[in-house]
Structure formats: C-alpha cells, structure tokens
Amino acid sequence: MIQSDWLQVFKKKKIVVLGDVMLDEYLIGHVNRISPEAPVPIVSLEKEDLRLGGAANVALNLKSLGIETYICSIIGDDKDGESLLQLCKNQGIYSSGLQLVKNRKTTKKTRVLGNNQQLLRIDSEQINPINAEEEQFILKYLKELFNNEIDALIFEDYDKGCLTPFLIKEVIQLCKKYNVITTVDPKKNHFFNFQGVDLFKPNLKELKEGLNMDFNVIDNKEFNHAVEELRLKLEHKITLITLSEQGIYINNGVKHFIVPAHLRNIADVSGAGDTVISVATLCLLAGLSMENIAEVANLAGGLVCEKSGVVSIVLEELINELEEKNISISY
C-alpha cells in the first residue's frame, strides 16, 4: 500500500508551529426574507461553530496526520483566547507556548453564512507587533522545546504581529543550531526576513506583492525571473509556490516543474494554504522526492477545498486520494 512506510515516519515527528493564531467563528443559518430596516438579508441563526484558524489550523492539520504538535504565539487574555486554548486542548495540541497578554486582543474572524453562502465577515484583531518581552517569552519557550528533539518549525505569518524581524532572525539561527528544519508560509510585510530557510511557500499573489512584480503567464520568462530573484534574496533551499487552479510549482535550485491541479468541486479555498504547508513540511521530513512533496501537498490542498469553511486534512482521505491517483512514492 502507498501509505505503508513513509506515512509511518509522520507519527515519529515533532513539529512546532510559530505565528499568528486566530479563532474562526461561523454563524450559520437560513435566509427567508430581507430586513425591513435595511436592504440586507435576515439570517435565522441555527448553528454557531468555533474552529482553530491561522497558525492554529496548521497545527490542527499536523495533529490530524498523527504528529506530536506544539503551537507558539501571543494571544489576548480574553474570552477568545480562552476558547483557543480549550480548542487546542480538545485536539491534543500542546499549547503551553501560547502566552495570554492583557493588552492584546485575540484575532477572531466571524463569518455569517446563510443558505450555504457567506454573507458577511467580521474581523476582530489587533495587529501591532509584539514587544521585546513577548519576543523573549517565545525564544525561551523554543529553546526549552528544542531540547526535546523537535524535528521542524513552521513559520505561519498572517501579518497579525506575532512574527517580528528580530524574532524571525533569532528563531532561524536557533533552528540551525539545533538542526531543526524550517518552513515558511509568508505574507508581504516580512517576505524577505526568512533568510536561509529550508522551504518557502508563497502563493502567486504573495510572490507578486513581495517582489513588486506583475506577470500573467505561469512558468514563462517573467515568472522564472521572479523565482530567481526570490531565491537570490532569500537563499533558501526549496521554493514551493501555490498556483490555485493551476497547481503547485517547486524549485530546489537544480530542477523545477509544475504539478497540475486536479479537477475538483471547489466549495471553499479558506485554509488550503495551511494544509499545503503542513503536508509539504511532513513530506520534506520524510525524505520524499521533490516531485512527491509537490504532488502530495497539491492533493491535500485540493481535498480541503472541497469542504466548506476552514477545515483540516483527514489522513484516510489523503491516503485514498494517493491510491486513486496511483502516485508512487520515491526518495
């Protein structure tokens, strides 16, 4: 069976996710009429759902694949922060690296859904950078954690203030000292702070914004030039670029190619990037080939897009998909 050996490697790994955690709230109901007060739909509320989002959803993806998972971030000492801690506890994610601070608000995205359509999103957040004391809490926590033989660290940046240039630099140096693999899901503000990481995974929009370039055709002269610029500036090992419906591009400085996306019934693309960085990191740890890293991450990202809202990958579904597509694993 396809999953026999390399998937067993997953269960022996320990990974910490560092970055912006958030709470995803869903208010779900039906719309039968328009409000007489304003031209807006009235949602008859039927269900309220809280889920882990941002870096916490990356941690949930890892846990769903059988990984010993740790989460590290700064959150508010508020009701939403307590909800985040409880959700992590419920999922078996180690959350002692989440520091609650009184002068900070926990990021929460509230989505209102009516008749299976998203009608509104409300963001409650505080995005100023964390202070020096909070940076030192994270560094102290990671140093203690790395003595427990951590295999990889995922930087999950949503530009919400947890990752600062100083912290990023210090953590990368710490990872190199302890031989911890580093992978990155970036955003624009700190795009070029992740010098020398093992895997860097922007999407196409982030690549264009980070380099301040624009191009329409994938894998042509302009696109290849953008990738070269990125690799020169960051000096990282593997570039993994998600291309939405066009698939995934991968480049290790020696060879590069695109793995096409599979035809799917897309319900929601929210959280697909979280799944891709989780699975790509695991494939890298398992020693899979370049082709397999891209193929397996591509399949996993596509699978979660078939479900509504931010969801994590299901191991059995990934295994079935790999077997259905007859993807052979190589090292």
CB 312, CB 275: distance < 8 Å: yes
* C-alpha–C-alpha distance, residues 78 and 82, integer Å: 6
Residue 184 has φ and ψ, to the nearest 5°, of -135, 135
Please indicate whether residue 274 is annotated as part of the active site: yes
Catalytic residue among 20, 151, 198, 274: 274
CA distance linking residue 47 with residue 60, whole number of Å? 22
How are strands ordered across the β-sheet holding 21-34? Answer: 41-54, 21-34, 108-114, 117-124
Decide: 93 and 112 in contact? Cβ < 8 Å.
no
Active site positions, annotated: 274
